[in-house]
């Protein structure tokens, strides 16, 4: 059984819940990613923010990314996968919650991120199309 830990991108960098969306966007640019976990002052995962969230939930609404805190876009309990959970469990979680990326946690610690592309790379070529069909919405 392949686990999330084996296919994840390790060392996910957080944006702090009290940092601005401008800082989040700059981190995304510098890291060349489209998503960042949002972590609290207690270093616990509070949510996930995407580049699309910044555009749709702040800019398109006339918000100011220099004054809007990343934590304000954290909605509900974050959807995660355990580091030792199977790839199949990751697929089911992505499908159930209609997400393409999952923070990977070990206990309460954020240890990485698993994206749809990470899973696709771990599957035999003939199963990749089915994966995309299952997760895409």
The rounded average pLDDT for each run of 10 residues, N- to C-terminus, in the chain (137 residues) is: 91 94 97 93 89 95 96 87 94 89 92 89 63 56
pLDDT of residue 134: 58
Domains delineated in the chain: 4-135 (3.10.580.10)
* Paired residues of 112 in beta bridges: 10, 104
pLDDT of residue 38: 95
pLDDT of residue 85: 96
DSSP-derived 3-state class of residue 90: helix
pLDDT of residue 74: 84
pLDDT of residue 117: 85
pLDDT of residue 76: 76
> Measuring CA to CA, how many Å separate 37 from each of 10, 57, 97, 117, 119?
13, 16, 16, 18, 19
pLDDT of residue 41: 87
pLDDT of residue 75: 77
* Paired residues of 20 in beta bridges: 69
β-strands 15-16, 35-39: how paired?
parallel
Work out the burial of residue 111: count CB atoms within 10 Å of its CB; fewer than 13 is exposed, 13-18 middle, 19 or more buried.
Answer: middle
User: Quick one: tokens of 77?
Assistant: 């309990």
């Amino acid at each position: 059984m392949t686990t999330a830990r084996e296919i994840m991108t390790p060392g996910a960098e957080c944006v702090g819940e009290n940092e601005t969306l401008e800082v989040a966007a700059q981190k995304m640019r510098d890291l060349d990613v489209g998503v960042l976990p949002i972590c609290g002052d207690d270093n616990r995962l509070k949510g996930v923010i995407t580049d699309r969230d910044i555009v749709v939930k702040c800019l398109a609404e006339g918000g100011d990314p220099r004054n809007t805190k990343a934590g304000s876009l954290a909605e509900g309990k974050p959807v995660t996968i355990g580091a030792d959970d199977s790839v199949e469990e990751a697929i089911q979680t992505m499908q159930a919650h209609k997400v393409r990326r999952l923070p990977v946690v070990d206990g309460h610690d954020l240890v990485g991120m698993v994206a749809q592309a990470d899973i696709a790379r771990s599957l035999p070529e003939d199963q990749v199309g089915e994966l995309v069909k299952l997760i895409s919405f």
